[in-house]
């Protein structure tokens, strides 16, 4: 307020000075035209505009046209008025979040059917971009260029909607004491590598017992992420010479069980003190009493460390759709609208962490563009 008063006084002083310095118009002469446009009002210094309204620092617009500290509001959706079925498939990690949003959509009046298949990110993109048989793809990684090309080949242009953040949970049996509270990324890569069979192969102070490894299957975006974030930094020395070595190392390891069902992985780790596995944080929370989560590089996975990037295995979660799908099946756009509007009210209970407001606003703007608004 003090700054505004000073600005007003300054402008007043300038105007007064200008009036005093200007010669009086000769008698009978027509007054000279002023510099003030007739179509606009005179404004004080802090009210000056340059074609767009002046904004304070916290009101600076993002690319969505919404202030950086504001949440963009989408048009209200009444689930009672939404008709038609919706088909979703993809990531097992995103599955519980989409399932929670579908349940809320139904509870609030939607009478159609929402089919949600947990088949892995890659398999979901196959159905979305190749066969075109689903409306929404759940994904725990960003869509690949080759998948975008497949989508375009059937007339679809995938639109990415960021819906949350996951912290990949590395879990062991609660009776496992030799790992202490955690491991390093390098140790984790060796634990899941074909270079080691027993725990003692990684660290001589650990037991000379076989490592029982539990991993999502190769169609899973979680598997892709684990290879990229954990295995590749250790095994890929040159992108051209050693490409694929990280995946080769984990798939060639002994005592490895792959499953697209995270519950199978959780149960496997629960059953043996020498077992270790990984999956989305939501599945750890479901089995928290029967599993122990490890810190990575000394950082525990939680909402704060996932959001600020301190936890090395934090990753974004997405859903994908297409403007043509939204146009042909308005119920899909309505569900995505509802999803993006209320996801932050449900995501904590599911076991994941909210996306930033800017990421969520960008997703909302993507939907508005897809709907031609």
Is the same domain home to 162 and 175? no
pLDDT of residue 67: 54
Count of CB atoms within 10 A of residue 145's CB? 7
- Kindly report which listed range (40-44, 215-219, 308-312) carries the lowest average pLDDT score: 40-44
Q: Is the pLDDT of residue 262 over 60?
A: yes
The arithmetic mean of pLDDT across residues 175-204, rounded, is: 96
- Kindly report which listed range (8-17, 45-54, 56-65, 107-116) carries the lowest average pLDDT score: 45-54
Look up the pTM and report it.
0.73
Name the residue among 307, 323, 62 with its Cα closest to residue 164. Answer: 307
Give tens-digit pLDDT for 10-31: 334 444 444 444 444 333 343 3
User: How far from each other are the two terminal CA atoms of the chain, in whole angstroms?
Assistant: 38
Domain that holds residue 115: 79-166+316-370
**Domain final residue, candidates 268, 300, 332:** 300
| Domain membership flag for residue 62 | no
Is the same domain home to 277 and 159? no
Cα 146 to its chain centre, rounded Å, is: 21
| Count: domains in the chain | 2
Is the same domain home to 178 and 292? yes
Give pairs for 302-308: CB < 8 Å, separation 24+: 302/167, 303/348, 303/353, 305/167, 306/165, 306/166, 306/167, 306/281, 306/353, 307/165, 307/353, 307/354, 307/356
Give CA torsion, residues 154, 111, 363, 318, to 10 deg.
Answer: -70
Mean pLDDT (the chain, rounded): 84
| Domain membership flag for residue 103 | yes
Read off the CATH number of the domain in which 249 is found.
3.40.190.10
Is the same domain home to 161 and 186? no
Is the same domain home to 177 and 268? yes
Give tens-digit pLDDT for 114-129: 999 999 999 999 999 9
pLDDT of residue 65: 54
Is the same domain home to 157 and 240? no
Strands 295-296 and 182-183: parallel
pLDDT of residue 237: 54
The arithmetic mean of pLDDT across residues 314-327, rounded, is: 96
| Domain membership flag for residue 194 | yes
- SS3 state at 248: helix
């Amino acid at each position: 307020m003090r700054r505004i008063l000073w600005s007003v006084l300054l402008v007043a002083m300038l105007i007064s000075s200008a009036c005093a310095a200007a010669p009086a118009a000769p008698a009978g002469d027509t007054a000279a035209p002023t510099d003030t446009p007739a179509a606009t009002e005179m404004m004080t210094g802090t009210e000056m505009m340059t074609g767009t309204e002046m904004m304070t620092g916290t009101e600076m617009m993002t690319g969505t046209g919404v202030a950086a500290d504001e949440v963009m509001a989408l048009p209200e959706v009444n689930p009672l008025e939404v008709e038609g079925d919706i088909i979703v498939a993809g990531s097992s990690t995103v599955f519980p979040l989409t399932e929670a949003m579908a349940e809320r959509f139904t509870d609030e009046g939607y009478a159609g059917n929402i089919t949600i298949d947990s088949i892995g990110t890659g398999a979901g993109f196959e159905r979305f971009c190749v066969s075109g048989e689903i409306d929404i793809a759940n994904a725990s990684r960003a869509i690949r260029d080759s998948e975008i090309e497949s989508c375009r080949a059937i007339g679809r242009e995938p639109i990415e909607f960021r819906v949350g953040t996951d912290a990949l949970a590395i879990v062991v049996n609660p009776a496992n004491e030799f790992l202490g509270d955690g491991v390093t990324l390098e140790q984790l890569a060796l634990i899941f590598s074909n270079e080691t069979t027993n725990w003692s192969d990684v660290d001589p102070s650990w037991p000379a017992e076989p490592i029982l490894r539990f991993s999502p299957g190769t169609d899973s975006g979680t598997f892709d992420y684990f290879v990229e974030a954990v295995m590749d930094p250790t095994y890929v020395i040159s992108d051209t010479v050693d490409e694929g070595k990280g995946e080769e190392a984990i798939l060639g390891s002994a005592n490895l069980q792959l499953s697209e069902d995270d519950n199978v992985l959780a149960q496997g780790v629960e059953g043996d003190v020498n077992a270790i596995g990984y999956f989305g944080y939501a599945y750890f929370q479901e089995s928290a009493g029967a599993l122990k989560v490890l810190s990575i590089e000394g950082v525990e996975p939680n909402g704060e460390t996932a959001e600020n990037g301190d936890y090395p295995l934090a990753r974004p979660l997405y859903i994908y759709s297409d403007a043509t799908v939204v146009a042909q099946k308005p119920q899909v756009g309505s569900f995505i609208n509802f999803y993006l509007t209320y996801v932050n009210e449900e995501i904590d209970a599911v076991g994941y962490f909210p996306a930033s407001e800017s990421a969520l606003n960008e997703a909302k703007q993507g939907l508005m563009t897809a709907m031609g608004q």
